[in-house]
Amino acid sequence: MLLADLKYGLRMLVKSPGFSLVAILSLALGIGANTAIFSLVNAVLLRPLPVHDPQSLVTVSTTDQRNPGNLPLSHLNFKDLRAQNASFTDMAAISFNQVNYSHGQESEQIPVQVVTANYFSLLGAEPSLGRGFRAEEETQATPVAVVSHGFWERSLGSNPNVVGTTVFLNRTLYTIVGVLGKRFKFFGDQDYTTVIGVAKDSKYNGVAEDPQNFIYQPLSQNYTPQATLHVRSAGDAASLANAVRGAARKLDPSLSVFNVRTLEEQVSTSLQPLMMNVLMLAVFGGLALLLASIGLYGVASYAVSQRTREIGVRMALGAQPSSVLGLVLGHGMMLVFIGLAIGLVAAYSAAGLMRSLVVVVNPHDPATFVSTAVVLGAVALLASYIPARRATRIDPLIALRTD
């Protein structure tokens, strides 16, 4: 029966090609625009941060009042803070530096994230290959490193046996102990160099920049006099701010703590310039889908009004309401299927364009395409379901009198 309905739907479609074409194109436009936009919305707004419980993870910036506008918390102050603390679940520090990576006859400057040993476990972002740093590696000068996924791909040829191999950093032989997962991101606030984690490879200045290739080192191996804190707490972020502030003042009255924000707030702040564009695109996408659905509703309603007598005849011959529903939906489904096919191909291309505008978008994410197609297809089908449902209530006696 379904096949017969689809066949009949195709016949109806061919019967009025102009009308069908307009409906299909409007659907394709709506579906295509929404799929492309959803790729962006998904990447920017919906995809969860690749860290454990980001709401309880807070970043803290500090400044020295004797030397304002500069210098996050010093490494030694961090150690004291961590030792004295009783208010936090855990605390990690991170600072940034550069190393000279030598390979063959060539060498290049690679950004380094110098972290405490608990950094990866605090974020809940354990390396996808090998392991993170051990506590003893924070104090011993054992030359070990964790590399970012991008560095592993670009510079180490995605070698699956990379753990245990050696790389030259600052003319010192280092043993690789781990590779960080692909979705782990790390970028800081432009003004305060506060560090937050997002997704995939590490980034410094927001989602719009290209992923950076990083090397992670334990604090002891690339000492810098400053560090930024990651603090995880079981309590709420607001009370945590006061606890950190109090602990810092107790340690050093000139140390000023500010910019205490959860990871989600950090991400939100960094996304603000992009957010307006995304929201506008989402509104346009929604409008496009609404117009396409109205168009499909119009086509289906028109078809039902044109076929009232036919539906009456079918009902007189014994068609059940479900058969009439299938008949009208069959026509709508044909339009939706063709519109979906065209729309998804268009979205495939448009998402590529988006990728060139915003690098965070994966233009050909199958999950996005499938989920968007299902949702938008369902919306479009709903638009033809309403007139189809109305058709099932046609009185055959009245319909047969229709000219």
In the complex with another protein, the residue whose CB is nearer, 18 or 318, is 318
Between CA 233 and CA 289 the distance in angstroms is 43
Residue 143 burial (10 A CB sphere; 0-12, 13-18, 19+)? middle
In the complex with another protein, the residue whose CB is nearer, 4 or 287, is 4
394 binds another protein (CB under 8 A): no
1 binds another protein (CB under 8 A): yes
Instruction: Using alpha carbons only, give the angle 270, 273, 279 rounded to the nearest 5 degrees.
Output: 110
364 binds another protein (CB under 8 A): no
In the complex with another protein, the residue whose CB is nearer, 263 or 328, is 328
Between CA 324 and CA 304 the distance in angstroms is 10
Minimum gap (Å) between residue 315 Cβ and another protein: 7
2 binds another protein (CB under 8 A): no
DSSP 211: P
Q: Which helix (H) or strand (E) holds 111?
A: strand 106-115
Q: Under rule CB under 8 A, how many of the chain's residues touch another protein?
A: 21
Q: How many residues does the chain have?
A: 403
DSSP 360: T
Among 45, 251, 346, 400, binds another protein (CB under 8 A): 400
238: its two tokens:
């607001």
250 binds another protein (CB under 8 A): no
Q: Which residue has the tokens 């609404």?
A: 290
In the complex with another protein, the residue whose CB is nearer, 9 or 387, is 9
Minimum gap (Å) between residue 20 Cβ and another protein: 14
Stretch that binds another protein, among 220-228, 277-285, 308-316, 342-350 (CB under 8 A): 308-316
Between CA 353 and CA 346 the distance in angstroms is 11
Segment 15 to 34, residues that bind another protein, using CB under 8 A? 15
Stretch that binds another protein, among 222-230, 242-250, 265-273, 315-323 (CB under 8 A): 315-323
In the complex with another protein, the residue whose CB is nearer, 86 or 317, is 317
CB atoms near residue 282 (< 10 Å)? 16
Closest CA to 119 of 139, 91, 84, 147: 91
397 binds another protein (CB under 8 A): yes
CB atoms near residue 326 (< 10 Å)? 21
318 binds another protein (CB under 8 A): yes
* Angular region, 157: left φ>0, alpha ψ -120 to 50, beta rest: left
Minimum gap (Å) between residue 396 Cβ and another protein: 6
Minimum gap (Å) between residue 323 Cβ and another protein: 6
Are 99 and 112 in contact by the 8 Å Cβ rule? The answer is yes
SS3 179: strand
320 binds another protein (CB under 8 A): yes
In the complex with another protein, the residue whose CB is nearer, 1 or 173, is 1
Are 128 and 180 in contact by the 8 Å Cβ rule? The answer is yes
Task: Please state, in angstroms and as integers, the Cα–Cα distance from residue 48 to each residue in 150, 209, 264, following that order.
Answer: 20, 19, 10
Among 317, 356, 366, 367, binds another protein (CB under 8 A): 317
Minimum gap (Å) between residue 351 Cβ and another protein: 39
359 binds another protein (CB under 8 A): no
Minimum gap (Å) between residue 316 Cβ and another protein: 6
At 315, which amino acid appears?
A: M
In the complex with another protein, the residue whose CB is nearer, 8 or 192, is 8
Minimum gap (Å) between residue 7 Cβ and another protein: 10
Among 6, 8, 156, 389, binds another protein (CB under 8 A): 8
Minimum gap (Å) between residue 397 Cβ and another protein: 5
Between CA 201 and CA 119 the distance in angstroms is 16
Between CA 296 and CA 198 the distance in angstroms is 40
Give the interface with another protein as residue ranges (CB under 8 A). Answer: 1, 4, 8, 11-12, 15, 309-310, 313-321, 323, 396-397, 400
